[in-house]
Structure 1
Amino acid sequence: MAQKVLLTGGSGFLATHVLKELLQHGHEVVTTVRSDDKGRFLLNMFEGQPLTYTIVKDISAEGAFDEAVKSDPPFDAVIHTASPYHFDVKDNKRDMLDPAVNGTTGILKAITKGAKSVKHVVITSSFAAIVNPSTPPKVYNEETWSDMTWEKALAATEGGIVYRASKAFAEKAAWDFVETHKPTFALTVLNPPLIYGPVIHQIASLAGLNTSNKRILNMMHGNPVSPGTPIFVDVRDLALAHVRSIEVPEAANQRFFFTAGIGTDKQMGDVIRKNFPDIAKNLRDDLSDTIPPYKFDNSKSIKILGVKYRSLEATIVDTVKSLQQLGA
């Protein structure tokens, strides 16, 4: 059944794929963007589709979503993907922690106050809210939570650590909000690891790539590859999961650890060597092949959301082709 959906951060790497899936599933969409330029790009991309946009310049500002959640006819569902994902952090609290937490609680407050028609809210969290690098469990699943503390996050000097903290605190704030305020909507949270896949959102240059795909670009060019978790998911599978989350009743009030499986840097490099001989000469010999000291359980996402995960080869091949089209 078609729904009217508010999608936040619609011009982002993941969100543009979510937008595409929503429209393909027959839903009507209003998306938030930071500027008219980004909104017009999406309207042109999905010309003739039931899509409009509204501008939210700063998701962490008090009341940022108060107007965005108002609609006639009213919204049935909200998918919240907007959150900072970058490691250019000068002030941990100001640049990463506050925007993530306030952006998440802010939209839940706005829905509770001004969009009582909303029956389902989906939030993009991250494996970062699950992972415990120092003492990993034997198997990661939806029951696992990051052991990050606010004190550790404020003191951290690495952007990656602050990012992990921001996702954990934002997700905890969302579940706490639901527990405390007992809103009329159900909450679903998706927790993906590194997200690879084709780029369809607007970027001015390859320098503006999402952080995960930048790792593949660096690999293609023989540059050092930043450390990353050796599990992955394809952006198209994750986008479908967001849409299924508002369509499948059993997804209500569930947390989904959403990963396709293992993808070490060396394994990704081997895929590139096999499928792109012209790039093979660029690949470094020191790509990490460290298998994680843990297993993962993604059975819940398969059972409830019905997603069939793409293979590492399919994901990396399509990512490289996409980057080549952008001039890589």
Structure 2
Amino acid sequence: MSTVLVTGGSGYVASHLILKLLQDGYTIRTTLRSLSKEQQVRSTLQNAGAVHMDRLSFHAADLTHDKGWEEAVQGCSYVHHVASPFPGHTPKDENELIIPAREGTLRVLKAARDARVKRVVFTSSFATIGYGDKDRQGPYTENDWSVLDGLPAYHKSKTLAEKAAWDFIEAEGGGLELSVVNPVGIFGPVLSNDMSSSIDLVVKLMDGSIPKCPRTYFNIVDVRDLADLHIRAMLDPAAKGGRFIASSDGKPLALFDVARIISQGRPEKARKVPTGEMPTWIVRLAAIFSPTARQAVPFLDVIRSLNNEKPKKVLGWTPRAAQDTILDTVDSLVEHRIV
């Protein structure tokens, strides 16, 4: 089987992708900013039931430096560029995110081109598609791009990184192929305390941090389905040069819908889950005093519908129902004693 590089191997999505690739028989290399995390990542994967761990090797490489990328990618047939900076808080300077996201993507692409890799699958985001145009009604498709003016720093970093990737392939890519996956909010079983920022919403619903649900809406994709879509985008000739929205459904869920799914599906674990919605005017009032409430304000009452047919029709992708994903997320959070 082919050798595949997965960047950012300690991350939530990358861990699930490595699990699936190992199960499918590939030899895997993965990058870490520091090899001091190698044993921790190995233990996480082993505890999750990883097979053929002898086929997995680790390489030190940082998105902000050239060192290590040439060695990491040498001899690989495919590269999954999953690593991207994600802040725990809004940075004072948006370039703290934009520069490593864009320059890191270009480093990976250049190394892949020079090593004669067949295809790079780039983990982008729905943040590059459905934001910034307040007059846009949707449903959003892969033909849409977020409007940069006024975008939050993370959304802007992902958009500029993806645009740079497409520009590079067109101008300097040589024979290198590119496919891009654009996931919405990523949920599903956690393998450790390292999880997607989306799952923190479920944690806050379950631990009582959210007394009532603000009127926010978001789409969901299961991390296991996302890993499957990455592999389809890697192998299918029809994925060459394509973007693929990864979402279990086209219609977003309200945060209150998520709370209700948990309460009805796992009532014994839902004692602190909110049972009502908070009026938007109260959230706006709270935002005067609360930084947490302030972060929610731009997303209040905004419903972004999308079309998720392309990966299903072109690549044969079949995502599971959002309800199953949410309940599996809950079960894993309890199993790992996060809630």
Are 2:30 and 1:31 equivalent residues in the alignment? yes
The answer as to whether partners of 1:141 and 1:297 remain within 8 angstroms in 2 is: yes
Instruction: Give the aligned length.
Output: 307
State the Cα distance separating 1:258 from its structure 2 match: 1.3
Gap runs ≥5 in structure 2: 281-299
SS of 1:295 mapped into structure 2: coil
Given that 2:187 and 2:196 are in contact with CA atoms closer than 8 Å, whether structure 1 keeps it comes out as no
The residue identity in structure 2 corresponding to 1:111 is A
Distance 1:62 1:168 in 2: 22
Say yes or no: does 1:195 pair with 2:186: yes
Query: What CA deviation, in whole Å up to 9, does each residue of 1:166-223 have, x standing for no partner?
Result: 11000000000001113212100000111011111x43xxxx5431110100011121
Query: 1:287, CA displacement in angstroms?
Result: 6.3
Task: Name the amino acid aligned to 1:314.
Answer: D
For the residues of structure 1 that align with 2:154 and 2:334, how far apart are their CA atoms? Answer: 29
Query: Are the structure 2 counterparts of residues 79 and 4 from structure 1 closer, same or farther at C-alpha, using a change threshold of 3 Å?
Result: same
Partner Cα distance (1:223, 1:189) in 2: 35
Give 1:66 deviation, angstroms: 2.8
Distance 1:294 1:325, change over 3 A: closer
Where do 5+ consecutive residues of structure 1 fail to align?
A: 154-160
Corresponding position of 2:296: none
DSSP 3-state at the match of 1:245 = helix
2:327 to 317, 320, 327: 317
Report how far residue 121 of structure 1 moved.
0.4
Q: Which residue of 2 aligns with 1:248?
A: 236
Matches within 5 A, 1:281-296: 281-284=271-274, 285-286=276-277, 293-296=303-306
What aligned pairs does 1:217-228 form with structure 2 within 5 A after superposition? 217-224=203-210
- TM-score (norm. length: structure 2): 0.84
| Residue pairs, 1:1-328, within 5 angstroms | 2-44=1-43, 45=46, 46=50, 48-49=52-53, 50-56=55-61, 58-63=62-67, 65-70=69-74, 74-113=75-114, 115-116=115-116, 118-133=117-132, 134-149=134-149, 152=150, 161-200=152-191, 202-203=192-193, 209-224=195-210, 229-261=217-249, 262-284=252-274, 285-286=276-277, 293-327=303-337, 328=339
Q: What is the CA-CA distance between 1:87 and the residue it aligns to?
A: 4.1
Q: Is the 8 A contact 1:136 1:293 kept in 2?
A: no
Work out the CA distance in 2 between the residues paired with 1:227 and 1:184: 47
Give the conservation status (yes or no) of the 8 Å contact 2:311–2:317: yes
CA contact (8 A) 2:214 2:255 kept: no
**Superposition deviation, residue 77 in structure 1:** 0.4
Q: Distance in 2 between matches of 1:120 and 1:287?
A: 47
CA gap 1:287/1:211 in 2 versus in 1, 3 angstroms: farther
Give the superposition deviation at 1:86: 2.1
Q: Aligned AA for 1:121? A: V
Matching residue's letter, 2:22: L
Take 1:307 and 1:287, find their aligned partners in 2: how far apart are those partners? 36
Q: Which residue of structure 2 aligns with residue 158 of structure 1?
A: none
What whole-Å deviation, never above 9, does each CA across 1:288-307 have from its counterpart, x for those lacking one?
Answer: 99875443211111012222
- 1:15-53 CA-to-partner distances (Å, cap 9, x unmatched) read 100001111111111011123342223334246431111
Q: CA deviation at 1:94?
A: 4.0
Q: 1:164 to 1:288 in 2, by over 3 A?
A: farther
Deviation at 1:312, TM superposition (A): 1.4
Distance 1:197 1:287, change over 3 A: farther
CA distance in 2, matches of 1:13, 1:226: 26
Sequence identity (%): 33
| Residues 67-124 of structure 1: CA deviation (Å, up to 9, x unaligned) | 3222xxx1100000000122424343442111111111111112223x11x1010000
Please, what is the CA RMSD of the aligned residues?
A: 2.2
Q: Aligned AA for 1:277? A: P
Pairwise CA distance, 1:138: 2.5
- Larger displacement relative to structure 2 (166-175 or 80-89): 80-89
> Quick one: distance in 1 between partners of 2:319 and 2:187?
13
Give me the TM-score of the superposition, normalised by structure 1: 0.87
Q: 1:59 is matched by which residue type in structure 2?
A: L
